[in-house]
């Protein structure tokens, strides 16, 4: 089972007392098809997640009035990483190592200090404890195993050649607090700022067809530029070779300009996707 431990994760908030409840099943695995909860269609705008990719089943949902959802950025605490420690000594024997989960959703029924954690992750703390489980939690740096990825979650192309685009950034190291994402149609010579209407979703209307370059800026002033980050229009997850630093490790420079691996006009590739051939002016899709 893939787990996320606290190695290299720097603290970003005070420690809070709370409780944890579960969703899903401890028998779920990374080959399970997500059918409910934040993995299937969370409110953050990530769309359906691939369970074989980070953060695997180590995910949670938090209440809208949780202190970590009221940080300002990211909106609703979407994408932040939370370290959870079992504080119920009777239920957690022997005392387990803390786990780290990523917030993907708003829990409508949760109390302010209650986290709804996937059962597979929660079982790492206490496989037999009665719920709710007493815990302590705090925000920590996200430390994904590889570079950022772009998920194209909406693309609506019209006959006039323009499109409405929605995307989200995955595997963002650090606090996940993004102040801006700017999009440039490859070769156009200028970036246009996208809007962040909710959660982790970033949108731009009236834009030409891809390829798209992205300039991503974090709240702490780091900036990376991923060239050909979206090589073609498809409901897909595109890896990049750019990343932010964290409190424990350097990123790939304050400004990193790089092309995403394996993407070119001749041979575009993506995870679980193929470019439309030929590109259709009426192509459109929406995820979640």
111 contacts: CB under 8 Å, gap ≥ 6: 19, 63
Nearest CA to 76 out of 220, 195, 246, 197 is that of 197
DSSP string covering 217-264, please?
Answer: EETTS-EEEEEEEE-S-SS-EEE-S----BTTB--S-SS-EEEPTT--
The token pair at 94 is 């022997």
Longest dimension (CA), the chain: 65
Q: What is the pTM of this model?
A: 0.83
Q: What are the beta bridge partners of residue 226?
A: 214, 258
At residue 158 the predicted structure's pLDDT band, cuts being 50, 70 and 90, is confident
Virtual CA dihedral for 79, 283, 50, 112, nearest 10 degrees?
30
To the nearest whole percent, how much of the chain has pLDDT over 70? 77
What does the pLDDT read at residue 151?
A: 94
In whole angstroms, how far apart are CA 188 and each of 145, 160, 185?
A: 33, 18, 6
Q: Tell me how many degrees the CA angle 263-265-267 measures, rounded to the nearest 5.
A: 55
* Residue 276: pLDDT over 70: no
What does the pLDDT read at residue 9?
A: 58
**Domains of the chain by start residue, with CATH:** 16-140 (2.40.40.10), 149-271 (2.60.40.760)
Residue written as token pair 């409901």: 235
Please report which residue ranges of 96-149 form alpha helices under DSSP H: 119-122
What does the pLDDT read at residue 41?
A: 64
- Read off the pLDDT of residues 207-260 as tens digits, 9 standing for 90 and up: 999 999 999 999 989 999 999 999 999 888 999 999 998 765 544 433 333 444
* Residue 269: pLDDT over 50: no
What does the pLDDT read at residue 97?
A: 87
- 3-class secondary-structure state, position 141: coil
- Read off the pLDDT of residues 21-53 as tens digits, 9 standing for 90 and up: 998 877 776 666 655 555 656 789 887 777 788
What does the pLDDT read at residue 13?
A: 84
At residue 92 the predicted structure's pLDDT band, cuts being 50, 70 and 90, is confident
* Residue 93: pLDDT over 80: no
Q: What is the mean pLDDT of residues 150-154?
A: 94
More confident residue, 251 or 149: 149
Q: What is the mean pLDDT of residues 103-118?
A: 93
Q: What is the mean pLDDT of residues 49-64?
A: 88
What does the pLDDT read at residue 43?
A: 86
Burial class (CB in 10 A: 0-12, 13-18, 19+), 211: buried
To the nearest whole percent, how much of the chain has pLDDT over 90? 55
Neighbours of 145 (CB within 10 A): 10
- 3-class secondary-structure state, position 185: strand
What does the pLDDT read at residue 133?
A: 92
In whole angstroms, how far apart are CA 229 and each of 70, 219, 223, 271?
A: 30, 21, 15, 13
- Read off the pLDDT of residues 196-212 as tens digits, 9 standing for 90 and up: 999 999 999 999 999 99
In whole angstroms, how far apart are CA 49 and each of 81, 151, 156, 234?
A: 16, 10, 21, 15
Contact 270/150 with Cβ under 8 angstroms? no
């Amino acid at each position: 089972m893939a787990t996320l431990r606290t190695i290299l994760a720097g603290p970003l908030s005070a420690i809070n007392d709370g409780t944890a409840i579960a969703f899903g099943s401890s028998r779920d695995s990374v080959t399970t098809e997500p059918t409910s909860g934040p993995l299937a269609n969370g409110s953050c705008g990530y769309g359906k997640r691939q369970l074989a990719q980070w953060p695997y089943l180590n995910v949670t949902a938090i209440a809208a009035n949780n202190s970590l959802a009221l940080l300002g950025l990211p909106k609703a605490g979407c994408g932040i990483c939370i370290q959870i420690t079992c504080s119920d000594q009777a239920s957690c024997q022997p005392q387990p190592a803390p786990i780290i989960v990523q917030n993907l959703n708003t829990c409508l029924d949760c109390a302010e200090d209650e986290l709804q954690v996937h059962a597979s992750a929660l079982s790492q703390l206490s496989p037999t404890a009665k719920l709710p489980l007493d815990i302590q939690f705090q925000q920590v740096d996200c430390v994904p195993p590889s570079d950022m990825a772009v998920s194209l979650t909406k693309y609506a192309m019209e006959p006039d050649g323009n499109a409405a685009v929605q995307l989200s950034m995955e595997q963002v190291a650090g606090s996940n607090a993004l102040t801006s994402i700017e999009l440039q149609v490859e070769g156009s010579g200028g970036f246009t700022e996208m809007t962040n209407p909710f959660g982790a979703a970033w949108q731009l209307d009236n834009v030409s067809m891809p390829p798209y370059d992205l300039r991503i800026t974090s709240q702490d002033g780091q900036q990376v530029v991923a060239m050909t980050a979206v090589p073609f229009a498809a409901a897909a997850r595109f890896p990049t070779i750019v990343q932010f630093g964290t409190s424990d490790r350097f990123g790939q420079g304050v400004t990193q300009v790089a092309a995403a691996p394996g993407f070119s006009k001749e041979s575009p590739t993506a995870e679980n996707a193929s470019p439309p051939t030929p590109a259709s002016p009426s192509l459109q899709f929406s995820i979640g």
